[in-house]
Structure formats: structure tokens, C-alpha cells
């Protein structure tokens, strides 16, 4: 399958050492991912107790392992499969597969602190997807066609409703694959908000700047529908790789190539059965459909709550009054499929959005300022999007200014980033207490704060609205902030942390260090 703007390729076989020293695990779909998690204590559980997909399932997982920006109490916990879904005797729902950085580390095969670096390497060394025959595509083992008598996607798939005020049931991990109406090889994959509207219709919400929306607009201008596939229940490398955004993955770049780079093997695609589009061959579930031209619906037309669903900043989004419609043509699944979902504001979103954010920033900073930025963390408090912590190692007085330049690069490369905190190499960027310690002892507000006003941010941040800031003419605009919590180079000797004796503490407390 041709790939626009090809990069260099590196082939790494599963189970063999990665050139960077990472061990690529034998995972190529959701089921092999679950099999791996079952070998890791504390990372996967199942329940046979009946659960209602309407608000109850998400309510349960809020306490089990949602984390992220979910209202407390919540926590980081295991992934969970519900085997007994009310009203769906043959259905299973998995939530939280990627709701832990440690779990993502095991699934991708890189150390917890190097996941962003691993993603950067996968972006630099891509492997394009390949086509396979239908006989090699387990996603088409069972077929439901929309023109079959009695077809109703609401009875086939248990799409969860996260809260009682949601606009309706949502597919929260539906990876939409679309392509240029005039060039099917110019394809893109993105996760979008998909609300079930009827037996064969979904609404789709596009945040500004999404590439599939550009394809939709082009097709609509020609009066044509845009064929898409919605792929659910995937190898986590596919989901995370798909979360790269421009300019790191520019228009015309297929993010499935990143998943191939992570695995060292191509993602397998298959021709859809009812529309002129491709689907991910090893998906658990695929919805085939077309985005209709010049058709719009109110997102909450069935509930009239005025709300959409809980979003990553921790608030329930407002229902959109006019969204494009996907007309479903077919649903294909594996035997006994697993519907994969997430809790909108949870830690799973942090992994999905944050790790590619870290990679994007690392790539651009390393290209512009080699050796200065040691690591990047897209903090959970910002849902993986709004807050980044950059760890730097200054080498001379000139790096005082270069450090702040790195923060500007981060804001430029990731449009939705709102705040950047800069810390030195002796600060653990993954430890919020340590970062806040640096802010208390290495930061003075009126000399170490930089403001970048009036630039594009994210429409789902409620503070980026004209009603919050009357200076704004449109939502999704904000003032961005850089907090320089690093020591000026010439003062380094005055900010040396207390040095403790290096010992093997496990000799005194072996149970605390047992693996």
C-alpha cells in the first residue's frame, strides 16, 4: 500500500531486542494484549456480575481504575473486562487497557520513563501498513448488513453511556479511518466523539484542524459521501500511534505507519465489505459507513440534556447543535467480540494523547537544540494535552535562553498545549511533588514567568471561552504560560540538593523492594 511522504524504515521482529534496547512484546491485536496483561499481577481483572452500559459501567470503573482528571475519589488501577452486559447476552466490554503508564510500558516494550522517546523513534522509523485478503481478516468473521431485516446497531453493540446526562451512548475508542476522496492512499486515522443517534446513524464531532474533516469537506463540496471505517478493539500501539498530530504528522501522513514502527511489523488492512474504504484487519469490531454530505443533527436530539459526554479536561462537554452524520452500512466483528471503551477524563486519555505529545516535543527540541531537553512528560492533570514538564540539562550560560526557547518550541509543535514547566536534570519530572518543589525554590513569579497571549488552544477547555475571558472573540483561544523553574547556569553551585549516601536499602527492608 503506497504511503505519502515515506520515512526511513526499520524492521524489528517481535521478541527480538530493539536497536534502542527495548523488548518488543508479541502483541498484534487486542487479544494478544490481554493475554500479556494476564501475566502481569494487578494489571487486568474480569467480572461476571451484570452491569448496565448506561452510566453504571463507567461509574464502576471510576472507582476501579479511571484516574486522570476524573472527580475524586478515583485511582490508577487494572484494566477491566465486563463479561455480563445488561441487554447484550453475547457482549463483552473492556475499559482501561491503557489507563496506566506502567501498563502501556509493558504493552509497548519500552521503560516507563522512555515511552515518549520510543514514540519519537517510531515516528522517525515508520513501517507502512499492508493489505491482506479477507480470509486473513478476523474482523470479518461475523457480518451484519444495514439492509438486513431488523438491523439495529443499538442491539448489536453495547455502546456505553458514561453519565446520566450524556447525549446518548458513545463509541469512545472508535478509530475512524478516512481518505482523500481523490486519492485513497492519502489516508488518516483519528479518534472522534461518536454518538449513537439511531439504528443506523452516528454523529461525529471534529475538533478544529482534523485531517479527516478536511477529507469530509472536500467530499461534501463535491456533493459526495465520504466512506469511512470505525475500528474498535485494537493493538494499543495503533491507538497511541494514531494520536500524533500536525505538524509532527503532517497532512498526507498515515499514522498507522507509527504503529508499524512501534511493533516492527506493518498494520494489516482489509477491504471493507460495503463501502470503498479499508479497515484494520485484526480489529474486534468494525463499523462501515459514509459521512453524508450536507446532513447535520443535534448531538443530543434523543436526550435533550444539552450535554455531550465527559471530556478529558474533567468536565462534561456541551452538546453540539449541528454535527455531521455517519450512515452505517455494515458492522463486522470477530466471534465473541470485545467492545473497547474508555472513561473520557481518565488516565487512558492521558496515555493516548500524552505519550505522542511527549514524542512530538522531544523530536522538535532535539532537532533544534540537540542534547538540551533530556525528557518530556505530558502531565495527567492536563489530560495529556494541556500541561507539559520539560527536563533540561544546561551546559553553559547560553542555555538559560535556550531552555526558554525549548518551551516555545513545545508550544509551537503542539497547538493544544497550554502550560509548560521547565525543570533541571536533578528534578524527577514524573514526580509532581518534586516538580512543585522546584517551583517553590527555583522560581520567582515576576521574573520566571513568560506569557504568550492570544493564541490557539483547545475548544474543550472551559476557560478558553469568551464568557470566561471577554477579550476572546472565539472559543479555543488562550494565553499560554511558561514557568521557568530551572536554576540560572551561573548559580548552579548554590542550588545543589542534599546528597545522601548510596546504599542498597533492600538489605534492610527486603519486602518493600521485592519484585
- Cis bond upstream, residue 73 (ω within 30): yes
Query: 352 is written with which cell numbers?
Result: 493516548
The answer to whether 373 and 390 are in contact (CB under 8 A) is yes
Query: 365 is written with which cell numbers?
Result: 527540541
- Cα dihedral 73, 77, 83, 88, rounded to 10, equals 50
Three-state DSSP at 290 gives strand
Pairing of strands 183-191, 175-180: antiparallel
Query: In which residue are the cell numbers 542534599 written?
Result: 498
Which residue pairs, CB below 8 angstroms and at least 24 apart, start in 43-46?
A: 43/78, 43/79, 43/100, 43/102, 43/103, 43/106, 44/78, 44/79, 44/80, 44/81, 45/78, 45/79, 45/80, 45/81, 46/80, 46/81, 46/82, 46/83
Among candidates 94, 98, 118, which has minimal Cα distance to 107? 98
Q: How far apart are CA 178 and CA 181, in angstroms?
A: 9
Q: Is 311 considered catalytic here?
A: yes
The answer to whether 308 and 196 are in contact (CB under 8 A) is no
Instruction: Report the Cα 416 to chain-centroid distance in Å.
Output: 13
The answer to whether 342 and 99 are in contact (CB under 8 A) is yes
Q: How far apart are CA 65 and CA 350, in angstroms?
A: 13
The answer to whether 255 and 188 are in contact (CB under 8 A) is yes
Size of the chain, expressed as the number of residues it contains: 515
Query: 345 is written with which cell numbers?
Result: 477524563
CB atoms within 10 A of CB 276: 12
- DSSP H or E run through 285: strand 285-297
* CA-to-CA separations, 160 to 143, 239, 265, 461, in angstroms, rounded: 22, 19, 32, 24
Query: 442 is written with which cell numbers?
Result: 527555583
Residue of 114, 311, 348, 416 with catalytic role: 311
Give Cβ neighbours of residue 20 (< 8 Å, ≥ 6 apart). Answer: 110, 117, 118, 121
Per DSSP, the residues of 28-61 read: SSHHHHHHHHTTSTTSEEEE-S-B-TBTHHHHHH
Query: In which residue are the cell numbers 521547565 written?
Result: 422
Query: In which residue are the cell numbers 478509530 written?
Result: 175
The answer to whether 12 and 24 are in contact (CB under 8 A) is yes
Which residues are marked as active site?
A: 311
Amino acid at each position: 500500500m503506497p504511503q505519502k511522504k515515506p520515512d526511513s524504515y526499520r524492521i524489528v521482529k517481535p521478541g527480538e531486542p530493539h536497536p534502542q534496547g527495548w523488548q518488543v512484546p508479541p502483541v498484534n491485536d487486542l487479544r494478544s494484549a490481554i493475554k500479556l496483561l494476564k501475566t502481569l499481577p494487578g494489571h487486568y481483572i474480569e467480572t461476571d456480575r451484570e452491569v448496565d452500559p448506561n452510566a453504571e459501567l463507567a461509574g464502576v470503573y471510576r472507582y476501579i481504575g479511571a484516574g486522570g482528571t476524573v472527580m475524586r475519589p478515583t485511582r490508577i488501577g487494572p484494566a477491566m473486562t465486563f463479561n455480563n452486559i445488561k441487554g447484550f447476552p453475547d457482549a463483552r466490554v473492556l475499559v482501561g487497557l491503557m489507563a496506566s503508564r506502567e501498563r502501556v510500558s509493558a504493552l509497548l516494550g519500552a521503560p516507563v520513563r522512555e515511552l515518549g522517546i520510543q514514540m519519537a523513534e517510531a515516528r522517525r522509523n515508520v513501517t507502512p501498513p499492508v493489505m491482506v485478503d479477507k480470509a486473513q481478516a478476523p474482523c470479518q468473521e461475523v457480518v451484519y448488513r444495514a439492509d438486513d431485516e431488523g438491523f439495529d446497531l443499538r442491539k448489536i453493540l453495547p455502546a456505553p453511556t458514561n453519565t446520566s446526562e450524556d447525549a446518548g451512548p458513545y463509541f469512545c475508542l472508535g478509530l475512524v479511518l478516512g481518505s482523500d476522496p481523490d486519492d485513497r492512499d492519502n489516508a488518516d486515522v483519528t479518534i472522534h466523539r461518536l454518538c449513537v443517534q439511531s439504528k443506523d446513524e452516528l454523529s461525529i464531532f471534529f475538533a478544529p484542524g482534523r485531517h479527516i474533516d478536511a477529507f469530509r469537506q472536500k467530499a461534501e463540496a463535491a456533493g459526495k459521501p465520504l466512506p469511512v471505517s470505525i475500528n474498535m478493539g485494537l493493538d494499543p500501539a495503533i491507538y497511541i500511534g494514531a494520536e500524533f498530530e500536525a505538524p509532527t504528522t503532517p497532512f498526507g501522513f498515515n499514522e498507522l505507519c507509527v504503529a508499524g514502527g512501534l511493533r516492527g511489523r506493518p498494520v494489516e488492512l482489509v477491504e471493507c465489505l460495503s463501502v470503498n474504504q479499508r479497515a484494520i484487519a485484526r480489529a474486534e469490531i468494525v463499523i462501515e459507513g459514509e459521512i453524508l454530505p450536507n446532513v447535520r443533527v443535534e448531538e443530543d436530539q434523543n436526550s435533550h440534556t444539552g450535554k455531550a459526554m465527559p471530556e478529558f479536561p474533567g468536565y462534561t462537554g456541551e452538546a453540539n447543535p449541528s454535527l455531521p452524520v455517519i450512515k452505517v452500512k455494515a458492522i463486522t466483528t470477530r466471534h465473541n467480540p470485545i467492545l473497547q471503551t474508555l472513561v473520557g477524563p481518565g488516565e487512558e486519555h492521558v496515555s493516548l494523547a500524552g505519550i505522542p505529545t511527549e514524542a512530538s516535543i522531544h523530536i522538535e527540541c532535539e532537532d533544534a537544540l540537540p542534547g538540551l531537553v533530556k525528557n518530556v512528560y505530558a502531565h495527567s492533570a492536563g489530560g495529556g494535552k494541556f500541561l507539559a514538564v520539560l527536563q533540561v540539562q544546561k551546559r553553559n550560560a547560553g542555555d538559560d535562553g535556550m531552555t526558554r526557547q525549548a518551551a516555545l518550541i513545545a508550544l509551537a509543535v503542539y497547538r493544544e498545549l497550554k502550560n509548560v514547566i521547565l525543570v533541571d536534570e536533578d528534578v524527577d519530572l514524573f514526580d509532581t511533588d518534586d516538580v512543585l518543589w522546584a517551583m517553590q525554590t527555583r522560581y520567582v513569579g515576576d521574573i520566571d514567568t513568560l506569557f504568550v497571549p492570544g493564541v490557539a488552544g483547545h475548544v474543550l477547555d472551559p476557560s478558553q471561552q469568551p464568557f470566561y475571558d471577554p477579550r476572546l472573540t472565539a472559543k479555543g483561544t488562550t494565553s499560554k504560560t511558561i514557568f521557568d523553574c530551572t536554576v540560572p547556569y551561573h548559580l548552579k553551585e548554590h542550588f545543589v540538593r542534599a546528597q545522601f549516601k548510596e546504599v542498597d536499602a533492600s538489605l534492610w527492608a527486603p519486602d518493600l523492594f521485592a519484585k
